[in-house]
Structure 1
């Protein structure tokens, strides 16, 4: 099997590919949700990192589909228009400053839970020209959500935790160093790692220096190569 820099996020990439094959999509984002409802490990389909950065740093609390609003609900799929009247949406800062400049108008979110707690969200974005989600499309999304949630909880998340635990046991990496390594393996550069983890560039470089020391490598390329070999073997 050929090594892929996307190995740690394969499930997210494959899920986005599946959704985009089932219905028209302008952009889509699949991200994990921490207990505090923060985004982590976002994988983007047909979009840019800047959009995700804008959202997480400024606009997420304005979002009518923010996961915090669904914390105590069992909703599987929700659309933006089901949460706010269109005329009120278009008057909002969220629409004027974030949605409109990024050319999306319609949104449908799939919520994935573990033990009743939201652990991941797949957000499907559409430009105005694609139109709103139809009843049949929402029925389709509701039908695939349980399988995706089951796969997330029984395959992807346990494997991800097992892989992180393996690196920790072998190299004594801290949780933050594991975060940096995971993003590095996925192809992120220092600036992207800093943005994703809300760290300064100097701090990212310090973490990388410690990872190099603990793993006994001399370069990023050697670290990525060794890590991918370990992941594929295990």
Structure 2
């Protein structure tokens, strides 16, 4: 049975500490790959995020993999990827050498036309799963001249997978809430613009105001003077029949009942 040394456990602790600090859902994969390289060195890597229907949320985060390579894979070569077919949405970490007979694999179209030109000879990876929901998939690659990934590398991936799953689930939930709040705010601004006959600039000022920006911050955001901000606010107050930003904010959020 493989075991982790004190030094390796310290590296894992630092990985968990650093990746646990991010609050950005779509930046988490990059941070994950950056930090995992300090524990498991690799030549190239990718990280896919998935939604509830196991569809990719966005383009994969890639290290040392060209965009053209990703496009080629998604358009054609994924159909020939026997590793993906065997390992996708599985809870345990896996190595390509445990899945394939390399003496046969090196003669396939997928290997000769895609793997070999991109130097993805050895690979290992893990799917990040939270309560049976696939959240992400990580793949690490090494060249033929490198050593194969070890069983200890797989143990490290398994060790950090639960923490990664918890963190990614939390970030995905926050991301959904933020997107819902953003859509709601956009709807409120659109309703207020129509209801109070606001100009495009007045709508921009209102948007920043209900986001909690003060006059100085609004001026900096829109590259206008504070006096100009005050003039726009004065016009908005008059149109909305209110006297200050507190009353204006209240009036805007009363439009919420018209959002279906």
Q: TM-score range by the shorter chain?
A: 0.5 to 0.7
TM-score, L = length of structure 1: 0.64
Q: Does 1:46 align with 2:64?
A: yes
**Aligned in 2, Cα 1:151/1:165: closer, same or farther, shift over 3 Å?**
same
Alignment map for 1:81-100 (pairs within 5 Å) = 81-100=97-116
Q: 1:216 Cα shift?
A: 5.8
Query: Hey, what's the Cα distance between the residues in 2 that align with 1:32 and 1:67?
Result: 18
The superposition leaves residues 101-124 of structure 1 with CA deviations (integer Å, 9 ceiling, x where unpaired) of: 111101111101133132210111
Q: Match of 1:22?
A: 39
Q: Match of 1:59?
A: 77
Alignment map for 1:1-234 (pairs within 5 Å) = 9-34=26-51, 37-41=54-58, 42-66=60-84, 70-71=88-89, 73=90, 75-154=91-170, 156-172=171-187
Query: Hey, what's the Cα distance between the residues in 2 that align with 1:50 and 1:14?
Result: 23
**Aligned in 2, Cα 1:62/1:117: closer, same or farther, shift over 3 Å?**
farther
**Aligned in 2, Cα 1:216/1:96: closer, same or farther, shift over 3 Å?**
farther
Structure index of larger Rg: 2
Aligned pair count reads 172
Contact 1:65 1:109 (8 Å CA) reproduced: no
Query: Hey, what's the Cα distance between the residues in 1 that align with 2:102 and 2:26?
Result: 34
Contact 2:44 2:65 (8 Å CA) reproduced: yes
Report which structure shows greater RCO (CA 8 Å, sep ≥6).
Answer: 1
Q: 1:99 Cα shift?
A: 0.8
Q: After alignment, is 32-41 or 47-56 more displaced?
A: 32-41
Q: 1:34 Cα shift?
A: 4.4
Query: Hey, what's the Cα distance between the residues in 2 that align with 1:52 and 1:66?
Result: 14
Query: Hey, what's the Cα distance between the residues in 2 that align with 1:121 and 1:58?
Result: 19
Query: Hey, what's the Cα distance between the residues in 2 that align with 1:48 and 1:70?
Result: 22
Contact 2:25 2:168 (8 Å CA) reproduced: no
Q: 1:36 Cα shift?
A: 5.6
Query: Hey, what's the Cα distance between the residues in 2 that align with 1:153 and 1:90?
Result: 38
Structure 1 residue matching 2:28: 3-state secondary structure = helix
**Aligned in 2, Cα 1:80/1:44: closer, same or farther, shift over 3 Å?**
same
Contact 2:92 2:158 (8 Å CA) reproduced: yes
Query: Hey, what's the Cα distance between the residues in 2 that align with 1:117 and 1:99?
Result: 29
TM-score, L = length of structure 2: 0.58
Q: 1:38 Cα shift?
A: 4.2
Structure 1 gaps of 5+ residues are 1-6, 173-211, 218-224, 227-234
Structure 2 residue matching 1:25: 3-state secondary structure = coil
Q: Match of 1:208?
A: none
Query: Hey, what's the Cα distance between the residues in 1 that align with 2:104 and 2:54?
Result: 25
Contact 2:93 2:124 (8 Å CA) reproduced: yes
